[in-house]
Each structure stands twice: as structure tokens, then as C-alpha cells.
Amino acid sequence: MASVYPRTLGGFTLLLLALAATITPGGGQALITPLDSPLLATKYRGFREVMFNFIGQTGNNKNKFLINLKKGKVQKQFGPEEPFFCNTTGMRSETVPTSVDRLRPGDIDIIGAIGDSLTAGNGAMATNILEVLIENKGLSWSIGGQGTWRQFLTLPNILKEYNPKLYGYPTKDGLSTRKASLFNAAEGGAMSQDIPYQARNLVKRMLSDRKVDINNHWKMITLMIGGNDFCAEICYMATPEKILQYHEKNIVSALRTFRDYLPRTFVNLAASPKVDILARFKNKPQECVSMHVIECPCLLATRFRKQRERFVKLIEDWNMLQMDIAAREEFHRKPDFAVVYQPFTMNLTFPETASGDTDFTYMSLDCFHLSQKGYALASNALWNNMLEPVGGKSMNWEREFTLFRCPSAEMPFLRTPGNS
């Protein structure tokens, strides 16, 4: 019976994903996920609640943690006596800065994020394929705050070393509609077209939270989107290149929302993941081959193989467009607002084993989402980018904890175009 259970879960998940992929395109931007169909939105959200409750939480489950630790899918665990990598003394300004160019890590009071399932933290502690559907929001690389950096390296867990009063991060699993998600407004299955709404939703949450002093607290928001657009949208569009036009409109709209409603805000616009790397994974487990065709048909299904080069170029053009948008003057006119492009996934490669195979301990069970160790690696890379000057940022990531940059007495500030 033990061998039947995972197979049943896998088949059920494949059925769910196949159902999600059957939503047909509409006018303008393609409508291909249940979240994008007005007729199915309410029922789908209800279904997600049922599935979340049925599967159960995994991020805070000690048994799931131990299983993943044994499999090497959890980061190195640090003891309480081991010091943080950086000297945090003096890294919160004595006087609250008025310029984003003088912002130190400890000055960040509020943290938030928008995006898709990678930002939602899907699969971080999954021990079977069905559990990949669970959003381990407390373990999300850019917004999770479960535990400390010693157990789970995340951007909030790094920033908490500089400002223990940091607020906005979730500490446990949960759908974005639940209060426990706090300022993680990311949705599994989200695409570029969902980002303007997520931005408005996040602003609304911050404005209505009594713990947030909108005018005086410094806020950090991380935005990453694109994986689902590349994997499940472009191949269904009559003219795939139009996706760049749509994406520009969506990202600019979201950034303007942050600029106009959130004073004292630093936005990390993270490069979209180059999901074509999935096709280059070495010695891929068979279950991942099946999942990849369902989760990323545009780049991995046989029927779209002839267009793969065209789609890969679109991913590159998409990231160059985002870099251009982040540098636009309209997002740098206000002294207390900045959008900084963080390109750590632009030339993405995955760690390999001693035998030269892809190291799948960084991946969740579908080999699409990340394990906790994979999310820790992403956190490390984002943090390094934040301390690297604009124009000199790394475009790949090292194994977690191999390179961990620190602010210095000479340059204690988060890097912006104005201080680079």
C-alpha cells in the first residue's frame, strides 16, 4: 500500500494541473489559469481552501522538516552560539533617513512581496507531490519569517538581525487570502496580468494595518513574476511577442501604485527566472519529466519544441525590459522611493553533484519549485544583489553561504542608482 499512495497523489496532482491548463485564452492577454477566469474564480478559491485544509500544513511540521533534512533539502543548521555573518552594529540609522540613497538594512521597518508560487513558497517542505500545492509562506525566500536565519535563511530573517521589530512577514503556511499571510500578497499561478491587482491589494493591506506608519516607516517590497507567463501563456498567444507590451503595462502600473501610495519605499524588482533551464537539467527524475510537461508546456512539451528558441529569446527580452523599467526616471524622482533591479537569476545555473548531475536537493518534488535549501539559496543571492552597486550586480547565484555580502562602515547603505 505504501507504494500506491504516492502514485495516487501524483496522479491526482497531474489531473489538477491538467485541468488548470485547459482554460482557453481570451482576448488581449491570455486567460489560462483558474484565477484568471471570472466564472471560476470564486469556486477555484474555495477549492484551494478545501485542498489546503485537506493536505494540511507542512512548513511548521517537524516530521516534514526531519524528512527533508535527511534528504539534504534543508539548509545547513546553525547553532545558537554561531554568530551572524555580518557586524550589525550601526546598521540602523540614529535618525530616520529621508533619502532612499541613505537607507541602511536596519532602517527597514515593513516588508512585503508580490508574485507567483515561488514567492508564495510552494513546495519548500513537500514530502509528496500533492504537498507542492501548499504555500509555505513562512519559508518564502523574499518574505518568509519563520524561525531565524539559523534554521531558514530568508530576506526577513536576515533583516531581523538588523531590526528585530521588522513587521509584515508571515511565519506559517497559508493562502494569500488569510490574515496570517500579512504582506505576502503573492498567489500561486499568478502571471504578469495579476501584478497590478496584487500591488493594489498589498497597498490596501498596509494602509489598513494599525502597526504600519505609512508616512514614517521605511518599507521594502520584492516583486518577481514571469515563470507562469513563460511556461503556460506565450505558446497559446497568436503573437507571443505581444507579451512584452502587456508586461510593460502591468509592471509600470504596479510600480506606480507603490510610488504614489507608499512613501519611503525600496522596491526590489527581481529578474524573472529563466525557466528554460528546466530543459537543461541533467539526469532528471522521471516524475519530474512528467510534471515539467504539465507545469511548463511552452518550453518542454514536444509540440512547441520548434518555437523554443523564440520563447527563450522572449525571456531574455522580458528581463531586459524590466531592467529598463527599473531605471526609468519616473521611479527615481522622489527622494524617498526607488526601484532597483536585482538580476541574480538572469544567467541562472543550478548547482551540480560531484558526478555532474543537477543537484535536485535544491528542488521540490516537482523539480520546478524549490526546496527550503533552494529558497535559502535565492535569499542569499537577493541579499548579495541588494549590497552590490547598480551596474555591478551579480547575475548568477553561488551555493548558499558561500558568498554572503555585508554592509560596511564605508558603504552601509542598500545600493541604489543614487549611491552606486
Determine whether 292 is an active site residue: no
Nearest to 298 by CA among 345, 235, 371: 235
Write the burial class of residue 229 (CB in 10 Å: 0-12 exposed, 13-18 middle, 19+ buried). buried
| Contact between residue 175 and residue 181 where contact means Cβ atoms under 8 Å apart | yes
Q: Helix 195-208 to helix 242-261 angle, to the nearest 10 degrees?
A: 10
DSSP 91-109: -S-SS--SSGGG--GGGEE
- Catalytic residue selected from 181, 192, 369, 371: 369
Measured CA to CA in angstroms, residue 182 lies from 20, 143, 213 at distances of 27, 10, 15
Residue type for position 141:
W
- What is the rounded CA–CA span in Å between residue 192 and residue 409? 39
DSSP 285-301: -HHHHHHHHHH-HHHHS
Determine whether 117 is an active site residue: yes
**Helix ranges restricted to H, 57-186:** 62-70, 117-120, 155-159
* Cα angle, residue 190 at apex, residues 157 and 58 outer, rounded to 5°: 50
- Catalytic residue selected from 117, 192, 364, 371: 117
Pairing between β-strand 218-224 and β-strand 337-342 as defined by DSSP bridges:
unpaired
Nearest to 271 by CA among 330, 196, 348, 331: 348
Determine whether 369 is an active site residue: yes
| Contact between residue 122 and residue 369 where contact means Cβ atoms under 8 Å apart | yes
- What is the rounded CA–CA span in Å between residue 257 and residue 259? 5
Q: Would you call 275 helix, strand, or coil by DSSP?
A: helix
| Contact between residue 404 and residue 105 where contact means Cβ atoms under 8 Å apart | no
- What is the rounded CA–CA span in Å between residue 182 and residue 173? 11
- What is the rounded CA–CA span in Å between residue 264 and residue 98? 8
- Catalytic residue selected from 36, 173, 229, 276: 229
Annotated active-site positions, please? 117, 229, 369
